[in-house]
Chains A and B, each alone.
Chain A
Amino acid sequence: GNSVTQMEGPVTLSEEAFLTINCTYTATGYPSLFWYVQYPGEGLQLLLKATKADDKGSNKGFEATYRKETTSFHLEKGSVQVSDSAVYFCALFGGSTLGRLYFGRGTQLTVWP
C-alpha cells in the first residue's frame, strides 16, 4: 500500500540556517510527490511537487528532488526566515488509488530571529 514517513520534529532553527526535512515513501506504481505547508489557523497550501523520478520541485527557495532509488523526497531550504515557521507535510498521490493524498504526520518548524 501507499504510505509516507517524515521526521516529526519539532525542528527549531535560527534565521538563515539550512533546513532539511526528511521524507520517504512506499507506493505502488509511480506516484506524484508533494510538499504542503500549513500556517497557524489555515488550510494546506501547495508548496512544491514532482511528478516523476529525478524531477526537482522548487518554490519560494524550497526544493525537493524525487529520488526513486531511495524512495525519498526531502525538503530543503538554504536560508530559512521567521516567516517560514509552519507545519510541513509530505504527501503522495497516485498509483492504484485516485483522488486521494497520503500524508506524513507533519513537521513543525519554528524559526527564531
Chain B
Amino acid sequence: KAGVTQTPRYLIKTRGQQVTLSCSPISGHRSVSWYQQTPGQGLQFLFEYFSETQRNKGNFPGRFSGRQFSNSRSEMNVSTLELGDSALYLCASSAGQKETQYFGPGTRLLVL
C-alpha cells in the first residue's frame, strides 16, 4: 500500500498570503489528522477529520481551517499568513479514530 502523501513538500509564502496544503491518506483510511511542528512548540494538534466531518480541533486561531473530501483526501488552509506560521505541517491517517496514525513526509512552509 502506498503511504500518506502530502503536497507540496516545500512552500515559500509572504505575510498576508494564504496557503492550501493537501494530504492523501493511505487507501482505506477514513480519518485524517493534521499537526504543526515547530522547534519552539513541538508537535501541536490542529484538527482531525473523519468521514468528511471535523471531529476534533486543537487550539489554533480561525485562520487555520480544513476539510475532507468523500475520497478521504484532506486539505488544510491557512489565511493571512504570519511569520510564526512557518513550520512543518504533518498529516496522519488512520483506519478509524481509535486506530494507529501513520504520518506523511510533511509540508515545510516558510513565511517571509
Chain A residues in the interface with B (C-beta under 8 A): 32, 34, 36, 42-46, 49, 89, 93-94, 97-106
Contact = CB atoms under 8 A, between A and B. Distances in A.
Contacts of A104: 42
Contacts of B1: none
B106 interface: yes
Contacts of A94: 98
B25 interface: no
A98 B90 contact: no
B37 to A, nearest CB: 9
A46 B90 CA distance: 14
B103 A44 contact: yes
Size class of the B contact interface (CB-based, 8 Å): 20 to 34
B48 A43 contact: no
A45 to B, nearest CB: 7
B31 interface: yes
Contact of A101 (B45, B55, B104, B105): B45
